[in-house]
Amino acid sequence: MKFAVIGGTGLIGSQVVKDLRAAGHEAVPYAKSTGVDIITGQGVDEAVAGADVVVNLTNSPTFDEASPAFFRTSMENLLAAARKGGVGHFVILSIVGVDQVPELDYYRAKVLQEELLQAGQIPYSIVRATQFMEFMDAAMSWTADADTVRLPATPIQPIAAKDVAAAVAEVAAGTPLNGIRNIGGPDVFGLDELGRITLSHKGDKRTVVTDPTAGMFAAVKGDVLTDKNAHLAPTHYTDWLS
């Protein structure tokens, strides 16, 4: 089968391309840096034409109020090209619990992306993943100073990017779900606890202060970002750190 992997140079996209090729498929990465711009539409029809499956693993350059426009315009351009090209399966990567945190612009933007796909008249699959292990450094940097990192105790179920990529590649090569599959890491931690484990592993002497108002995850109520019934990935956070 032929796969057009949009965002195929990114953290997840580049590994999905490798996994699909290793499974014997033809997988072509497309991204802004390869001359395909999903916002202006440049090169999109050509990228999608002839693909059996489109896997959209792009990301918005910002997580703020500009993100809904990014996901709306990019999905409208990609879906129009996919309909024209007769694509049989369109896959996106979203976030577990994404519809439970309407306070966050970025999460509303990802819900919009899902809704556009569901209304897009193309057989589809939505893979919702929990937070990537690779994302932890960024999450800590938002609320860090020289001595402390402030983090809420929000329950998080971190998953390794390589496990996300494997799950996306498997779904993309299968029959369209016309629905949602949740995937998550094998363990749940409070984000503050995850911060302490991370700093200790790195020999970083800063202290994690539990602060229910700190950072983007302060807006999350309860354990909506976790799902113990998700398809559980094999890699544990402490093994990944090592």
Ligand X SMILES: NC(=O)c1ccc[n+]([C@@H]2O[C@H](COP(=O)([O-])OP(=O)(O)OC[C@H]3O[C@@H](n4cnc5c(N)ncnc54)[C@H](OP(=O)(O)O)[C@@H]3O)[C@@H](O)[C@H]2O)c1
Residues that bind ligand X (CB under 6 A): 7, 9-13, 31-33, 36-39, 57-59, 93-95, 110, 129, 131-132, 135
Question: Residue 152 to residues 116, 180, 210, 219, 227: CA-CA distances in angstroms?
Answer: 32, 28, 5, 10, 19
Q: State the minimum distance, in angstroms, from the CB of residue 221 to ligand X.
A: 18
Q: State the minimum distance, in angstroms, from the CB of residue 214 to ligand X.
A: 18
Residue number with the smallest Cβ distance to ligand X: 10
- In 3D, which of 179, 183, 167 has the Cα closest to residue 123? 179
Q: State the minimum distance, in angstroms, from the CB of residue 99 to ligand X.
A: 13
Residue 238 sits at φ, ψ, to 5 deg, of -65, -35
Distance CA 156, CA 7 (A): 25
Name which of 38 and 167 has its Cβ closer to ligand X: 38
Name which of 38 and 144 has its Cβ closer to ligand X: 38
Q: State the minimum distance, in angstroms, from the CB of residue 5 to ligand X.
A: 9
Name which of 148 and 240 has its Cβ closer to ligand X: 240
Q: How many degrees, rounded to 5, is the angle at CA 72 between CA 67 and CA 73? A: 100
Name which of 41 and 176 has its Cβ closer to ligand X: 41
CB 188 within 8 A of CB 237: no
